Amino acid sequence: MSETFSDLDAHLEAGAAARLADFVALLSIPSISALPEHRPDLEATAAFIAERMRHAGLEHVEVAPTDGPPVVYGDWLRAPRAPTVLVYAHYDVQPVDPLDLWVKPPFEPRVEEGRVYARGAADDKSHVAMHLAAVEAWLSVRQALPINLRFLFEGEEESGSENLERWVEAHREQLAADLAVVSDTEFLDGNLPAITSSLRGMMYAQVDVRGPDLDLHSGGFGGVVRNPADALARILASLHDEEGRVAIAGFYDAVQEPGTRIREEVARLPFDEEAYRQRIGVPELAGEAGWSPLERRGLRPTCDVNGLWGGFQGEGAKTIIPAHVHAKVSCRLVPDQDPERIFELFRRHVIDHAPSGVEVEVHLINTGRPSVTATHHPAVEAAAGVIEAVFGQRPYLIFEGGSVPVTAVFDKTLGLPVVLLGFMNPDCQAHAPNESLVLDNFEQGIRVICRYWEALAEAPLAGQGASGSASAA
Amino acid sequence: MSETFSDLDAHLEAGAAARLADFVALLSIPSISALPEHRPDLEATAAFIAERMRHAGLEHVEVAPTDGPPVVYGDWLRAPRAPTVLVYAHYDVQPVDPLDLWVKPPFEPRVEEGRVYARGAADDKSHVAMHLAAVEAWLSVRQALPINLRFLFEGEEESGSENLERWVEAHREQLAADLAVVSDTEFLDGNLPAITSSLRGMMYAQVDVRGPDLDLHSGGFGGVVRNPADALARILASLHDEEGRVAIAGFYDAVQEPGTRIREEVARLPFDEEAYRQRIGVPELAGEAGWSPLERRGLRPTCDVNGLWGGFQGEGAKTIIPAHVHAKVSCRLVPDQDPERIFELFRRHVIDHAPSGVEVEVHLINTGRPSVTATHHPAVEAAAGVIEAVFGQRPYLIFEGGSVPVTAVFDKTLGLPVVLLGFMNPDCQAHAPNESLVLDNFEQGIRVICRYWEALAEAPLAGQGASGSASAA
């Protein structure tokens, strides 16, 4: 990389304090997408971001309405022969409960020991702020970008991106690009620089088991009817075999078994299993036999109960047979598992394993496709190069267990290769109390992004198109 | 039975309207023992009953404090050569939720089509009112009783009778008697006259399963840790075998297998299985193989999940692995199962069946001993005789699935034989919305009680003592 960035770096250096103050202002707005009462906060956050985009010099800036929170769009398209990149991050955040476990209020950001603590400090306002800072630096210092950029900031990621998917489909022309950069991922445990190369998909369902019309007295009816809780327990216990494999018939049929090369790559990742176990606080790690923990979370599909409830849940004793009990169950999916197909297999398994004497229903709540990026795509190679230049070490290629639904939308709907470029420290406690971002990740991340636009201008992107990304569809 | 009761019957006939109004007044007080805010209502109910006892001519009437709701005591002991009977019923009631399923408010009693509708109309204020009416009739018409009576009305039965047990132990002298009559049971399905000859005991416990320190993101951690809900499901599913038998090792060791005679008695009971199934609203009846529904609920021990909870229980989706999940589990016990021993077996079973990767704790919440009355005891024979005289048909001898903890206390602590003399219609919906009592059961029940005191005066009770009742201890 021959280019020098001393002018941009000097600009960023001089603006650090103001930038942090601006980030704190963004973090102070409680943009929780799951709670309807925070809709005004989502609108306020979108307006805040649009204002910063205009100030940075972006054009066609708009706060576009959807049936959910608005989408914020803006672009700079004045590099006619250069590639166009669609940049994505989300400005909504998770709910904050349990609030009593926060050391400080979640929307009163505090800076301590090189971190910013606040809900959204990492997931995902950090990336919104980093992208805004990088483009502001380019346009302020050089009055131009080396490539074309379209920014798309979403306010509904933590609630399923349902409306974004429709908006993207309705605005395919407006979003035309050569590459998508999705910024919502983490480094490797130990805060080691990393690029995520795959995300799992999802199938989320609810199981309802109904017995008698009303709760029954467990004395007068104990021994006479099938207890719905017993039926649910049998169903849930049947989801895995003794080896920890998902026991749903056909579940693994479409799974691409990772090859030896990928397994070797994962085995080479630095991972302190004992430190990891202690951090989570479990007596031992567990899961599908024959795979390492990192393989199980990144390369293998899983099935988990997310919650269950029914009958008496209070203090003391109430002697009833519950009329109905329920469970939320979701599967994380890998290529080429189709979420709708997996739901059908799951539904059939539940019905087949329901004992007699109860009625069982299974409802699909949502789905997301798995996605995998082509690790040898020139845009990934370019990202690895600039991360190495800024952080001083080659990034690891990692396989993430989570899901970012928009990734498959860009891939499937827009036919774009996707690079997952994220800088969150893995101990950021996203979704949990006391979320925090390491400030060095923030500042260095901005410098990586600045260099990445230049690197992409030089990368052989043209003609890569959709084939650069392997879809799970 | 040579005695004529025309004077008592005429008195009861004349007082029917006033008696119903008085019963309605008793039912109007919301004496819910489970809810602390109703403590004043429990006190008011106790005062109401004490006033009626004094008015009826009982002596030594007192509202005796306990650490819970007060006990109401009163006696009439002026028949020196006659036996003494300890009479029990309870004046507290169950909570009323779900309130929206009640046609009329639960503490605004209404009389319709030969029934009184209200919380407590059956369970168990009906028996309090019946006993008060019967003793009032005797003392008003004849100024004396044929036997000695001690009345003990409790206000904590629906919350476990914990304080009553201590009070009884501290007042053994005051409660000295030859026989206990416990009035808290029902007739047979179809409202057929019946005497309950056994009640099941109870062991009620809570199971807590803990995994990670905090809820984990099911993407980042799915496949790496044992899901506590999966562990709980495996534990609960292991409690029964495929034949519906309780699979806890040693559970049946002390169970007295009912003999051929008792099974023949149960088989002769009129029971419309299809009508019963429809009334409950289940697709089919279920339970331990090899036993009929009436045997399963009356003669066999059972194990039921009373409630379970953990993780996400809201609308939509939250993708977590719950940090902890819980279940309430109780067993109904038959002679000679010891509740503490059963808890120990249960605890061991749960620990043994817990998969690795989680921590499991089991807590005992409460216990109650099973009790069985000697069906050929002269006091039971006498009860059968007076029920036949009043209702026009010989009562069935039935085996109840429920528990009345005080029964074992009278039996074990006071050494008394117990007769379970109750008149509730089985479709009374005790513990459920729209509880109701058939008024004919109420009026005829009072007449049975009047005749029963006379019958006991003539029965060979002396010297029966504790041996008249087989304890499960």
Say if the Cβ atoms of B284 and A357 lie within 8 Å: yes
pLDDT bucket at A440, cuts 50 / 70 / 90? very high
Mean pLDDT of A21-28: 98
The rounded distance, in Å, linking the Cα atoms of B135 and B59 is 12
Instruction: Enumerate the residues of chain A whose CB falls inside 8 A of the CB of residue B97.
Output: none
Q: Tokens in use for A25?
A: 């202002």
Alpha carbon separation from B348 to A317, B201, B235, B253, B351 (Å, rounded): 21, 20, 11, 15, 5
Q: Is the pLDDT of residue B241 over 80?
A: yes
The rounded distance, in Å, linking the Cα atoms of A106 and A412 is 36
Partner B, chain A 315-354, Cβ-Cβ below 8 Å: 316-322, 325-328, 330, 332
Non-local CB neighbours of A411 within 8 Å, separated by 6+ positions: A180, A371, A417, A418, A466, A469, A471
Query: Which residue numbers of A are catalytic?
Result: 92, 157
Partner A, chain B 56-85, Cβ-Cβ below 8 Å: none
Model pLDDT, residue B3: 63
B452 touching A, CB under 8 A?
no
The rounded distance, in Å, linking the Cα atoms of B427 and B355 is 43
Instruction: Enumerate the residues of chain A whose CB falls inside 8 A of the CB of residue B214.
Output: 281, 432-433
Instruction: Enumerate the residues of chain B whose CB falls inside 8 A of the CB of residue A160.
Output: 316-317
Q: By the 8 A CB rule, do A222 and B302 touch?
A: yes
Say if the Cβ atoms of A297 and B220 lie within 8 Å: yes
Closest-CA distance, B52 to chain A, in angstroms, reads: 32
Model pLDDT, residue A247: 98
Angle at CA B181, nearest 5°, toward B179 and B182? 140
A282 touching B, CB under 8 A?
yes
Model pLDDT, residue B202: 93
Instruction: Enumerate the residues of chain B whose CB falls inside 8 A of the CB of residue A365.
Output: 316-317
- The partner residue sitting opposite A312, judged by closest CB among B233, B306, B313, is B306
Model pLDDT, residue B300: 97
Say if the Cβ atoms of A330 and B218 lie within 8 Å: yes
B274 touching A, CB under 8 A?
no
Instruction: Enumerate the residues of chain A whose CB falls inside 8 A of the CB of residue B365.
Output: 316-317
**pLDDT tens digits, one per residue of A145-200:** 999 999 999 999 988 788 999 999 999 999 999 999 999 999 998 899 999 988 99
The rounded distance, in Å, linking the Cα atoms of A222 and B291 is 13
The one-letter amino acid at B318: K
Percent of chain A topping pLDDT 90 = 80
Say if the Cβ atoms of A219 and B325 lie within 8 Å: no
Model pLDDT, residue A471: 31
Q: By the 8 A CB rule, do B140 and B48 touch?
A: no
Alpha carbon separation from A62 to A53, A168, A173 (Å, rounded): 10, 15, 16
Q: By the 8 A CB rule, do A411 and A471 touch?
A: yes
**pLDDT tens digits, one per residue of A94-151:** 888 878 889 999 999 999 999 999 999 999 999 999 999 999 999 999 999 999 999 9
Model pLDDT, residue A462: 60
Model pLDDT, residue B455: 97
- The partner residue sitting opposite B309, judged by closest CB among A284, A285, A308, is A308
A214 touching B, CB under 8 A?
yes
**pLDDT tens digits, one per residue of A63-104:** 999 999 999 999 999 999 999 999 999 999 988 887 888 999
Model pLDDT, residue A268: 92
Residue in B200, B214, B221 to test binding to A, most A beta-carbons within 10 Å? B221
- Paired residues of A194 in beta bridges: A396
Partner B, chain A 420-439, Cβ-Cβ below 8 Å: 430-433
Angle at CA B471, nearest 5°, toward B467 and B473? 135
Q: Is the pLDDT of residue B462 over 80?
A: no
Model pLDDT, residue A473: 26
Instruction: Enumerate the residues of chain A whose CB falls inside 8 A of the CB of residue B356.
Output: 283-284, 286
ipTM reported for the complex, 2 dp: 0.88
Instruction: Enumerate the residues of chain B whose CB falls inside 8 A of the CB of residue A312.
Output: 306-307, 328
Closest-CA distance, B116 to chain A, in angstroms, reads: 21
pLDDT bucket at B101, cuts 50 / 70 / 90? confident
**pLDDT tens digits, one per residue of B134-164:** 999 999 999 999 999 999 999 999 887 889 9
The one-letter amino acid at A171: H
The rounded distance, in Å, linking the Cα atoms of B242 and A79 is 71
Instruction: Enumerate the residues of chain B whose CB falls inside 8 A of the CB of residue A399.
Output: none
Model pLDDT, residue A163: 92
Q: Is the pLDDT of residue A470 over 70?
A: no
Instruction: Enumerate the residues of chain B whose CB falls inside 8 A of the CB of residue A202.
Output: 219, 319
- Paired residues of A152 in beta bridges: A73, A88
Residue in B226, B280, B306 to test binding to A, most A beta-carbons within 10 Å? B306
The one-letter amino acid at A356: S
Q: Tokens in use for B165?
A: 């047990």
Model pLDDT, residue A468: 33
Q: By the 8 A CB rule, do B322 and B214 touch?
A: no
**What is chain B's mean pLDDT, rounded?**
93
The rounded distance, in Å, linking the Cα atoms of A203 and A158 is 16
Nearest CA in chain A to B186: A220
Mean pLDDT of A216-220: 89
A236 touching B, CB under 8 A?
yes
Say if the Cβ atoms of A225 and B287 lie within 8 Å: yes
**What is chain A's mean pLDDT, rounded?**
93
Mean pLDDT of A300-309: 97
The one-letter amino acid at B172: R
Say if the Cβ atoms of A221 and B280 lie within 8 Å: yes
The rounded distance, in Å, linking the Cα atoms of B465 and B473 is 17
Query: Which residue numbers of B are catalytic?
Result: 92, 157
Beta-carbon count within 10 A of A59 CB: 11
Closest-CA distance, A42 to chain B, in angstroms, reads: 20
Q: For the purposes of burial, counting CB atoms within 10 Å of the CB of A450, is it exposed (0-12), middle (13-18) or buried (19 or more)? A: buried
Q: By the 8 A CB rule, do B450 and B130 touch?
A: no
Strands annotated E in A312-413:
320-321, 324-333, 359-368, 371-373, 396-399
Closest-CA distance, A248 to chain B, in angstroms, reads: 15
Q: Per the omega criterion (within 30 degrees of 0), is the bond before A100 cis?
A: no
The rounded distance, in Å, linking the Cα atoms of B322 and B227 is 7
Q: Is the pLDDT of residue A58 over 50?
A: yes
**pLDDT tens digits, one per residue of B264-311:** 989 999 999 999 999 899 999 999 999 999 999 999 999 999 999 999
Say if the Cβ atoms of A305 and B313 lie within 8 Å: no
The rounded distance, in Å, linking the Cα atoms of A349 and A328 is 15
Rg, C-alpha atoms of chain B: 24
Residue in B96, B282, B291 to test binding to A, most A beta-carbons within 10 Å? B282
Model pLDDT, residue B317: 84
The rounded distance, in Å, linking the Cα atoms of B383 and B132 is 18
Q: Is the pLDDT of residue B376 over 90?
A: no
Q: Tokens in use for B439?
A: 């008024």
Alpha carbon separation from A97 to A92, A101, A119, A429, B176 (Å, rounded): 16, 8, 11, 13, 58
Say if the Cβ atoms of A236 and B215 lie within 8 Å: no
Beta-carbon count within 10 A of A374 CB: 17
Q: Which residue has the higher pLDDT, B72 or B259?
A: B72
Q: By the 8 A CB rule, do B248 and B345 touch?
A: yes
The rounded distance, in Å, linking the Cα atoms of A110 and A106 is 9
Non-local CB neighbours of A21 within 8 Å, separated by 6+ positions: none
**pLDDT tens digits, one per residue of B243-262:** 999 999 999 999 999 999 89
Say if the Cβ atoms of B319 and A306 lie within 8 Å: yes
Say if the Cβ atoms of B306 and A218 lie within 8 Å: yes
A290 touching B, CB under 8 A?
no
